[in-house]
Structure 1
Amino acid sequence: MKLIRLAVAAGTVAAAAVLAAAMLVAPSGALAAAGDGSPTDPNIRFAGRWDTRDRTAYVPGWAGAYLRTGFTGTTVKLKQRNTIDLYYSLDGGPDVYLQNVRGTVNLTPNPLPAGTHSLRVSYRVVAGSYHGDAVFQGLVLDSGARTLPAAPRRGMVEFVGDSITVGTTTSKNALTAYGWLVGEQLGLDHMQVAQGGACLVSSADGCVGLDRRFVKVSAADGAADHDFTRYQADVVVINLGTNDVGHSVSTTQFQSAYVGLLRTIRGKYPKAAILALKTFRGRYVPQTQAAVQTVNNAGDRNVFFVNTDGWVPADGLSDSVHPNDTGHRAIAAKLAPIVTAHLPASPTPTPSVSPTQSPQPTPSVTPSPTSSGTPGACAVQYKITNQWSGGFQGEVQLTNTGADPLNGWALRWTFADGQHIDQGWNGAFSQSGATVTVTNPAWSPALLPGASATLGFTGTWNGANTAPASFALNGAGCALT
């Protein structure tokens, strides 16, 4: 059966018959034409790791893989093999959850208005006790309808981790995990190379180790190698180490494996920024920092340790380990500006937006602000969150202690020891000599009374790295806390 039937004008029936016959006798592995809705249709964009060896049935690996496409007409159906749970979104709307569906699944029980539409499909993570058949076999559209190229995204961010990165215990699993949230907030393609119970180190007792499996298309034993030419990540975020303690991984083993993983990722993504998160339970922290410093000292300065202290609020856990929906949203709020700061200077154009979507805010240089609040009604806390030979990571928390909102702000300080900021996030940074100025980010101009903004940055130092002695907000001094 053809996936999309072609509308044929009078007088071209014979030609259409020849075309149909050619399609029916074509080998199953043949490449499809753009617009036909088959797995090889180039208008369908597959984000993340997919096993594409069978051109009639693409299989997603790991968590968070999804497909996107545009299409014309009023209906769209999904061709499945055996029973599976899945999420789908039409025209940027809320994700709809379908359980135990198979065969030709109608995603438009209520037909759409005639015109151009967008579709995103994500399958439930096949892991643990769940063994659904996540296999994409194509789309069925209206007669005469066709797929359209998926809207381009600004870039690609990949998240590497365990059940926390999967989104275990959240309401929609991978779709309510911090990685998915960050990717969607920033308008990026995104992927969670994560498995419940995964470790960094492949252990003798069978723990899935990302030190070896990162290069695979899935976590399954015997999985094929992933084809890294399918996409290049701009930023890779690692959150590993929570489970290694339970598998008797020594600190020496962990540090060595972490260095190895960093080097593997660098080999696959030569230009990506790599962010090594401090695990939320604080495990193997010195070893993670030492691994980052090892590759930094070897010349790879595009790898960073990220301190996550305070990222998960008191009500942000569903148990003693896993963040709930509130926790993942809080993590995403902290992580998104850091990812933004490490995106390439010239990302791909902002994606086109479907009729029911609003464009994602794009960070830009902020003009000199004007403030309606009381100048200098502020408090500042400065701290160094990580330091290594010649480099450091810092954080400045700015609080509006006045009675009025600050509708635009500029914070200024002067370094005493020649420190220089390389890059910053959650604000627009500039430096002239020893003086640093940070203005509000374009997407968050106001700072309400009692509210705080946390500014992060990385920089260099030589000889000493003392804290600035004073800070000024819009020209007036702030209290140091």
Structure 2
Amino acid sequence: MPDSGTTYDSPSSTTEWTPLRLHLIDSSTPWSDVVLEERSFRISSPPIPIGKFYLPNRSYRSRLRRYNRLMCLMVVVTFVALWLWLGGRPAPQQQRKIEKPYVANIEGLQFIRANNPHIRQFVGRWTSTSDGTRREGTFPGVYFDFTLNGTRTVLLSLHNADISDQIPVVVKSPIKSPNMAFLPSTNTSSAEPISLLVRVDDEEYIVLPNATSIVTVRKGNLDVRTHHTIRVIAPMVRDNVIETLQVNGLYIDQGGQLLPYDTTPSRLQEETATRELTTQSIPKMLEVVTDLPGSTTGRDKRRSIGTTRGILGGVMGWEYLLGEMFGTDHVTIGMDGMCLIQDCIGGRGSPAGLADVFFQSGPLGTEQYAHPWLFQEYVPDVMVINIGNSDWDSFQTHRDEYNKTTWDLTLDFEDTYVALVKAIRALAYPQYSATTAVDASRYIYSPTSAAGGLPIFVMRPFRGQLEQATHSVVERLRGEGDRSVFWLDTSGWLNTDVNLGGKAEEQDFFLDGESETKQWRLTERGNQRVAILLHLHVCRYLARDAEKCAFLPPEVYQGKTLNPDMERLDELMEDERERRLKRLFWD
């Protein structure tokens, strides 16, 4: 076959001999030009006809023989060179083994299981397998910390695996009775790959996208003479995807060791000398419940730089920043787009509501959702609730489908909110007593023990949706004697104007999604402003030295600046007009 870009005139197509023509393609690569030029020989005399066939003359055949001998010599030389070069390389199977770094890395390393007592408590909602050897975290933002020394290498061992090319295995839970749902998970299947963030000491975060099996945190470059504190975070910021972090354990050098978390020199310096060692090992806890987690800030396309930006959004949310500002533990039950009420039209996870998910071990759609959460695992020092964004969007978008007025939908939201706070008081974190608390040391030096109840802050949604309903929730609860629930007026905190062509760093919100389903998200600046303003309100519950917190008068939380009856008058009049119109045309 002739080479591409070369045209031949067939000698048998005409009685007259036509010279062979070669044309080089201008766009061919340099090495193609060289090859074609080597083959661009010319025929000096016409061939001698023999019957219907044409044969070259003797001069041409001599040149062709020399050309063939030269080509054969080149083939032989090339073959010998390849044989000598391959002779010093390993066999194909040995080469594939070398390409698997984790096989070589774990040789000579010691394995530490996830249930090792020196791995500090997994922060967030984690479940354990029935044999106790694996921990699984499902809510966005779960993390765990550990401190070690004497090792240069740190590897994570995950049960997550790439199962896209495998036959899915459905593992049915043998637990059928609701009374038995608290038992450990018996699921042995592997979750999909998960993206992680890792921070070593005070260095920048390491982004580990699509992590599975053995994940390298540090490979031979840690200082064995000092202590190192490592945090592993699962942001779980993929859109419309439910992720699970499955931790088997760690791999470190044989001479390395895990240390109790509170014995690192940096932490000892942060604690005051008057504190007891027991309180030193129990950091304070913040719990946030929201349907608008700030971790979605990584979806802002105006600042997008690829996958890394989206994953880093998991540590840029206001709920994460708020806990980090105090150096406390923080747990987020953040279900983006999920309504508080049940049977929410257009809401994520409907017919279940956020109130249902709060009492489970994992989000809807996970195996952990079938297991009620054991609230003795941790007790927060303060709780912040920011919900209503998704409910209001559903009420406005699907108002006709509900066949209810906005007033009626608002009352449903308010009643569900009150029921949630009462359930938290009665079932999740009841008033502390020596007979009900599993970990009494949690309440040492805690304002919660003195106040007799967990402080709960009910926030006005950031854009003012359902403002009156959230205020009425607090008024009803305080009227029934709950003096540890407070209403936070967030009006004026953020600028709700969105300029689609403006700079992201100059705005507090951005719109995410298609034209008809755009969702409001907080930008990085918006998240930072929320965290700073919330810092003032929760300071006396989370700060190590509460006396340094700014004083805020009680009127801030009693809502005296808002008259809910007057604020709801316009809404009530609008719904009354709607009732009259329905009565006129339908009755």
Query: TM tier, shorter chain?
Result: 0.5 to 0.7
Relative to structure 2, which stretch is displaced further, 206-215 or 95-104?
206-215
Q: What are the ranges of 5 or more consecutive residues in structure 1 without an aligned counterpart?
A: 8-35, 351-361, 366-425, 430-455, 466-481
Alignment-mate amino acid for residue 203 of structure 1: D
Q: Which residue of 2 is the match for residue 198 of structure 1?
A: 338
Q: 2:353 is matched with which residue: 193, 201, 209?
A: 209
Q: Which residue of 2 is the match for residue 317 of structure 1?
A: 509
**Matching of residue 161 in structure 1 with residue 290 in structure 2:** yes
Relative to structure 2, which stretch is displaced further, 126-135 or 81-90?
126-135
Q: Which residue of 2 is the match for residue 326 of structure 1?
A: 525
Query: By how many angstroms is 1:154 displaced?
Result: 3.5
**Matching of residue 247 in structure 1 with residue 394 in structure 2:** yes
1:430-449 CA distance string (max 9 Å, x none)? xxxxxxxxxxxxxxxxxxxx
* Distance 1:460-1:217 versus aligned 2 partners, 3 A rule: closer
Q: What are the ranges of 5 or more consecutive residues in structure 2 without an aligned counterpart?
A: 1-102, 162-192, 263-280, 301-308, 396-401, 403-408, 431-452, 498-506, 512-518, 562-587
The 8 Å contact of residues 140 and 236 in structure 2, kept in 1 or not, is answered as: yes
Counterparts of 1:126 and 1:59, CA distance in 2:
17
Q: Which residue of 2 is the match for residue 458 of structure 1?
A: 554
Identity score, percent: 26
* Distance 1:165-1:301 versus aligned 2 partners, 3 A rule: farther
Query: By how many angstroms is 1:110 displaced?
Result: 5.1
* Distance 1:148-1:167 versus aligned 2 partners, 3 A rule: farther
Q: Which residue of 2 is the match for residue 288 of structure 1?
A: 470
Counterparts of 1:289 and 1:210, CA distance in 2:
19
**Matching of residue 178 in structure 1 with residue 288 in structure 2:** no
Relative to structure 2, which stretch is displaced further, 170-179 or 235-244?
170-179
Counterparts of 2:554 and 2:314, CA distance in 1:
30
Query: By how many angstroms is 1:286 displaced?
Result: 1.2
For this pair of structures, how many residues does the alignment match? 332
Counterparts of 2:557 and 2:285, CA distance in 1:
31
Q: Which residue of 1 is the match for residue 117 of structure 2?
A: 42
Counterparts of 1:227 and 1:61, CA distance in 2:
15
Counterparts of 2:324 and 2:533, CA distance in 1:
15
Q: 2:195 is matched with which residue: 42, 66, 85?
A: 85
**Matching of residue 136 in structure 1 with residue 247 in structure 2:** yes
Counterparts of 2:522 and 2:509, CA distance in 1:
4
**Matching of residue 259 in structure 1 with residue 418 in structure 2:** yes
Alignment-mate amino acid for residue 37 of structure 1: I
Query: By how many angstroms is 1:158 displaced?
Result: 0.6
Counterparts of 2:553 and 2:283, CA distance in 1:
22
The 8 Å contact of residues 166 and 196 in structure 1, kept in 2 or not, is answered as: no
Find the residue that maps to 1:299 and give its secondary structure: coil
**Matching of residue 116 in structure 1 with residue 227 in structure 2:** yes
Q: Which residue of 2 is the match for residue 11 of structure 1?
A: none
Counterparts of 1:238 and 1:133, CA distance in 2:
24
The 8 Å contact of residues 166 and 194 in structure 1, kept in 2 or not, is answered as: no
Query: By how many angstroms is 1:131 displaced?
Result: 5.3
The 8 Å contact of residues 343 and 353 in structure 2, kept in 1 or not, is answered as: yes
Alignment-mate amino acid for residue 510 of structure 2: S
Relative to structure 2, which stretch is displaced further, 45-54 or 113-122?
45-54
Counterparts of 2:378 and 2:415, CA distance in 1:
28
Alignment-mate amino acid for residue 85 of structure 1: S
Query: By how many angstroms is 1:37 displaced?
Result: 3.1
1:234-262 CA distance string (max 9 Å, x none)? 11110100111243480111010000111
The 8 Å contact of residues 295 and 317 in structure 2, kept in 1 or not, is answered as: yes
Relative to structure 2, which stretch is displaced further, 277-286 or 124-133?
124-133
Find the residue that maps to 1:113 and give its secondary structure: coil
The 8 Å contact of residues 4 and 140 in structure 1, kept in 2 or not, is answered as: no
1:326-379 CA distance string (max 9 Å, x none)? 110111010012111344xxx7xx6xxxxxxxxxxx5534xxxxxxxxxxxxxx
Q: 1:230 is matched with which residue: 374, 377, 386?
A: 377
Q: Which residue of 1 is the match for residue 134 of structure 2?
A: 57
Query: By how many angstroms is 1:129 displaced?
Result: 3.7
Q: 1:71 is matched with which residue: 119, 126, 148?
A: 148
The 8 Å contact of residues 154 and 219 in structure 2, kept in 1 or not, is answered as: no
1:126-171 CA distance string (max 9 Å, x none)? 6644455521111111103221222345410011011334444364
Counterparts of 1:253 and 1:174, CA distance in 2:
32
Relative to total residues, which structure has the larger strand share, 1 or 2? 1
**1:293-304 alignment, distance < 5 Å:** 293-304=475-486
Counterparts of 1:106 and 1:178, CA distance in 2:
29
Find the residue that maps to 1:364 and give its secondary structure: helix
Alignment-mate amino acid for residue 214 of structure 2: T
Counterparts of 2:481 and 2:216, CA distance in 1:
53
Counterparts of 1:265 and 1:230, CA distance in 2:
15
Structure number with bigger Rg: 2
Find the residue that maps to 1:37 and give its secondary structure: strand
The 8 Å contact of residues 127 and 195 in structure 1, kept in 2 or not, is answered as: no
* Distance 1:204-1:338 versus aligned 2 partners, 3 A rule: closer
Relative to structure 2, which stretch is displaced further, 87-96 or 241-250?
241-250
The 8 Å contact of residues 142 and 235 in structure 2, kept in 1 or not, is answered as: no
Q: Which residue of 2 is the match for residue 336 of structure 1?
A: 535
Q: Which residue of 1 is the match for residue 70 of structure 2?
A: none
Counterparts of 1:364 and 1:461, CA distance in 2:
19
* Distance 1:96-1:209 versus aligned 2 partners, 3 A rule: same
The 8 Å contact of residues 196 and 234 in structure 2, kept in 1 or not, is answered as: yes
TM-score by length of 2: 0.52
* Distance 1:181-1:4 versus aligned 2 partners, 3 A rule: farther
Counterparts of 1:153 and 1:167, CA distance in 2:
30
Find the residue that maps to 1:137 and give its secondary structure: strand
Q: Which residue of 1 is the match for residue 185 of structure 2?
A: none
